[in-house]
Amino acid sequence: MARRLDVTGADGVRLAAWDFTPGAAPQAGPGVLLLHGLMGHAAHWASAVGSLTAATGRDGAQPPPLRTIALDQRGHGHSDKPPAAAFTREAYVADAAAAVEQLGLGPVTLIGHSMGALTAWQLAAERPELVRALVICDMRASALGAASQREWRDWFRRWPTPFPSLDAARRWFGEDDPWVERPHPARGAFFAEVMAEHPDGWRPVFDPEQMLTSRATWVHDAHWESLAQVRCPTLVVRGLDGELGRAEAQEMVRVLPHGAYAEIPDAGHLLHYEHPDAWREAVGPFLNGVLTS
């Protein structure tokens, strides 16, 4: 079971971090920080973190397990969601830096999914002394365009909240949501994990307006420049049916000074959550290389 840690983020926002480290691991020193995507939470990494403690040294010896921490980013999970808080790129990056520094994780290996990947590479670009290596999971560097934000606002309005039960929420996101082309149980389970019970039914733990504010930073702005400033070894991972296309992913690898590429054939956007074993197979060799070098 993960152990909760508390971090003070930018502007005093209280952040919840979750320590997935095995009991035998050291409680100080460099480690791994996992950053979830928009609307996600730290526990979405739970099934994927096992391999992060399994790197083998060059002499064949098994090193101590790595410190492995997942952060509930502001507005998500058990972290604060203050109405007046900033939901800017600068705030998210400052929060991640605070987690690395306050928990003594540096030089850290950052693993981010979607929005968390953007936060991770911006931190690596701005604070290279804090970051040892980076894994980018299914996040674009190109701007999505204003139409995307309008579509998302309309999508949030179509949610039939409150859901009468958790099963109803799971079924809607996995089957009934108009954005679902075919039954997608993992998507239903993903969203069911971020629902909380209220007197009138089940609602998301996040504020949809805060989510729209958060994603506006990559809807309207491209982030190629910050990507090119990342100097540490970086792996770009995409699902074959994810949101990051192959051509753009390979261009991201080309732009990165020390970039590498991996693809998971049967995965979509939720690649680490839906296919944790395949995700570990894709990410494991890269991590073994950078963590044992």
What would the 3-class secondary structure string for the chain be? Answer: CCEEEEEECHHHCEEEEEECCCCCCCCCCCEEEEECCCCCCHHHHHHHCHHHHCCCCCCCCCCCCCEEEEECCCCCCCCCCCCCCCCCHHHHHHHHHHHHHHCCCCCEEEEEECHHHHHHHHHHHHCHHHEEEEEEECCCCCCCCHHHHHHHHHHHHHCCCCECCHHHHHHHHHHHCCCCCCCCHHHHHHHHCCEEEECCEEEECCCHHHHHHHHHHHHCCCCHHHHHCCCCCEEEEEECCCCCCHHHHHHHHHHCCCEEEEEECCCCCCHHHHCHHHHHHHHHHHHHHHHCC
| 67-71 vs 14-19, strand pairing mode | antiparallel
Contact between 71 and 33 (Cβ < 8 Å): yes
pLDDT digits (tens, 9 = 90+) for 217-244: 999 999 999 999 999 999 999 999 999 9
Q: What is residue 33's predicted lDDT score, i.e. its pLDDT?
A: 97
Count Cβ atoms within 10 A of the Cβ of residue 198 and give its class: 0-12 exposed, 13-18 middle, 19 or more buried: exposed
Tokens 């050291």, located at residue? 26
Q: What is residue 22's predicted lDDT score, i.e. its pLDDT?
A: 74
Q: Which residues pair with 34 in a beta bridge?
A: 70, 111
Q: What is residue 85's predicted lDDT score, i.e. its pLDDT?
A: 82
> Among 70, 92, 89, which Cα is nearest to 13's?
92
Tokens 């299914």, located at residue? 138
Going from the first residue of the chain to its last (293 residues), give the mean pLDDT of each consecutive group of 10, the final group possibly shorter.
92 96 68 97 92 49 75 98 91 98 96 98 98 98 96 98 98 97 96 98 97 94 97 97 96 98 95 95 92 76
Residue 1: which residues within 8 A CB-CB, separation 6 or more?
A: none
Long-range contacts of 203-210 (CB under 8 A, 24+ apart): 203/161, 203/162, 203/163, 204/39, 204/161, 205/41, 205/76, 205/77, 206/39, 206/75, 206/76, 206/81, 207/75, 207/81, 207/83, 208/156, 208/159, 210/75, 210/81, 210/85, 210/87
Q: What is residue 189's predicted lDDT score, i.e. its pLDDT?
A: 98
**Nearest 5 degrees, angle CA 166-CA 171-CA 176?**
140
Reported as half-sphere exposure (CB side, CA atoms, 13 A), residue 77 has a value of 25
pTM greater than 0.85: yes
Q: What is residue 58's predicted lDDT score, i.e. its pLDDT?
A: 46
> Among 222, 68, 43, 76, which Cα is nearest to 140's?
222
Q: What is residue 63's predicted lDDT score, i.e. its pLDDT?
A: 58
